[in-house]
Amino acid sequence: MVNKKVVARLSSYRTALLRFHELGFVKVFSDTLAEAVGATSAQVRKDFSLFGISGNKKGGYQTDILIEKLQSLLGKDRVQPVIVVGIGNIGTALLKYRGFEDEGIRIVAGFDLDPAKINRKLKVPVLPADEMQDFIREQRVTIGIIAVPDAAAQAVCDTLVAAGIRGILNFAPIVLRAEEGVVVNNVNLQNELENVIYFVNTLAKQIKGK
Partner DNA sequence: GGATTATTGTGATAAATTTCACTAAAAACC
Partner DNA sequence: GGTTTTTAGTGAAATTTATCACAATAATCC
Q: Contact letters (x/-) for ligand NAD, 97-116, by CB under 6 A?
A: x-x-----------xxxx--
| DSSP output for 41-91 | HHHHHHHHHHTT---BTTTBEEHHHHHHHHHHHTTTTS-EEEEEE--SHHH
Q: Contact letters (x/-) for a second copy, 151-190, by CB under 8 A?
A: ---------------xxxx---xxx-----x-x-x-xxxx
Contact of 170 with 189, CB cutoff 8 Å: no
| Nearest distance, CB of residue 95 and ligand NAD, angstroms | 8
| Nearest distance, CB of residue 197 and a second copy, angstroms | 5
Q: Does 57 bind DNA (CB under 7 A)?
A: yes
How far, CA to CA in Å, does 43 sit from each of 1, 13, 24, 35, 47?
Answer: 14, 12, 25, 11, 6
Q: Does 94 bind ligand NAD (CB under 6 A)?
A: yes
Q: Does 148 bind ligand NAD (CB under 6 A)?
A: yes
- Using CB under 8 A, which residues numbered 29 to 68 contact a second copy? 36-38
Q: Does 6 bind ligand NAD (CB under 6 A)?
A: no
Q: How far apart, in whole angstroms, are the C-alpha atoms of residue 128 and residue 164?
A: 18
Task: Name the residue with the smallest CB distance to ligand NAD.
Answer: 88
Q: Does 38 bind DNA (CB under 7 A)?
A: no
Question: Binding residue for ligand NAD (CB under 6 A) from 33, 136, 145, 147?
Answer: 147
Q: Does 135 bind a second copy (CB under 8 A)?
A: no
Nearest-10 Cα torsion for 174, 175, 176, 182: 140
Q: Does 79 bind a second copy (CB under 8 A)?
A: no
Q: At what angle do helices 4-22 and 41-50 cross, to 10 degrees?
A: 110
Q: How far apart, in whole angstroms, are the C-alpha atoms of residue 44 and residue 9?
A: 9
Question: Binding residue for DNA (CB under 7 A) from 12, 41, 62, 188?
Answer: 41
Indicate the burial class of 47 (C-beta count within 10 angstroms; 0-12, 13-18, 19 or more). buried
The residue ranges that bind ligand NAD (CB under 6 A) are: 85-91, 93-94, 97, 99, 111-114, 117, 129, 147-150, 152, 156, 171-173, 189-190
The residue ranges that bind DNA (CB under 7 A) are: 1, 3, 5-6, 29-31, 39-43, 45-46, 48-49, 53-61
